[in-house]
Amino acid sequence: MIVIVCPGQGSQTPGFLEPWLAESRFREQLTGISDAVGIDLVAHGTTSDADTIRDTAVAQPLIVAAGLLTLSALLSDGRRERIAGIAGHSVGELTAAAGAGILSETDAVAFVRERGRAMADAAALEPTGMSAVIGADETELLARLDELGLSPANYNGGGQIVVAGALNALAALAENPPTRARVIPLQVAGAFHTRYMQPAVDGLRTFAAGLQASDPTLPIWTNHDGTTVTDGGRFVELLVGQVSSPVRWDKCMDAFAASGVTGVIELAPAGALTGLAKRGLRGVPTVAVKTPDDLAAAFEMIDAQA
């Protein structure tokens, strides 16, 4: 049982798409996506610096576009039938929605453009950010968050919870972390998946109402609670609500384990979710598809299911 996972914001690094764009088919595909969103993703994936691609309105379309490039290669030549399911982390759920056939590639890209803009606008209202907390006792951490006015944003499993809120409160948490915990600031531009993003929700709901959603043709798990969703319209509703509610990636990984997952393949820009899988799904083989050179290992894993 092979599951494809699609990473979220913060996984991008300067120049990460350069190896992909050396191949004309991927350059043409990315150029088409760039034209659709009105953003030069070719430049942002190759020459833009870290600060530029940290901008939410750039980062989110860039990450989804990278996932779509990877999917186009992975699911060709009849391999789609050997995939047991797909899931995305945060904005990666848009990539997953396209991979599962809920949204067309064009609609997924349009949605992520609007999502990125709306979340960037919401983030600009107050100076906020996010930090990963690793190794904390969850009860102790949640109590500390209450004291500081911070919120849990991503329950990532494997001993990691991402927290979000005011920058001074995040600094206070880093200065006095929970017992045996590490606090690592993340390169994101706002307190995503918290109340700070509520201004983005209404506009996104209106936009999403105009999209054509189909029922998934691949099993797809939701960040909402780790369950599979069989109604495409319901999944789109969850995509809207996800903007201001916590990501339960821990529950997604629990669901993978309960389903008998035998392998995890992460789309570009890969690394974060396979890292979590190594801690939360111990012993399950993983492949992080960072460049086209990694496709061979992914194909081998998929073809072994034949």
Residues noted as catalytic: 90, 193
Per-position DSSP letters for the chain, written without gaps between them: -EEEEE--TT---TTTTHHHHTSHHHHHHHHHHHHHHTS-HHHHTTT--HHHHHSHHHHHHHHHHHHHHHHHHHTTTTGGGGEEEEEESTTHHHHHHHHTTSS-HHHHHHHHHHHHHHHHHHHTTS-EEEEEEES--HHHHHHHHHHHT-EEEEEEETTEEEEEEEHHHHHHHHHSPSTT-EEEE-S-SS-TTSGGGHHHHHHHHHHHTTS-----SS-BB-TTTS-B---HHHHHHHHHHHTTS-B-HHHHHHHHHHHT--EEEEPSS-SHHHHHHHHHSTT--EEE--SGGGHHHHHHHHHTT-
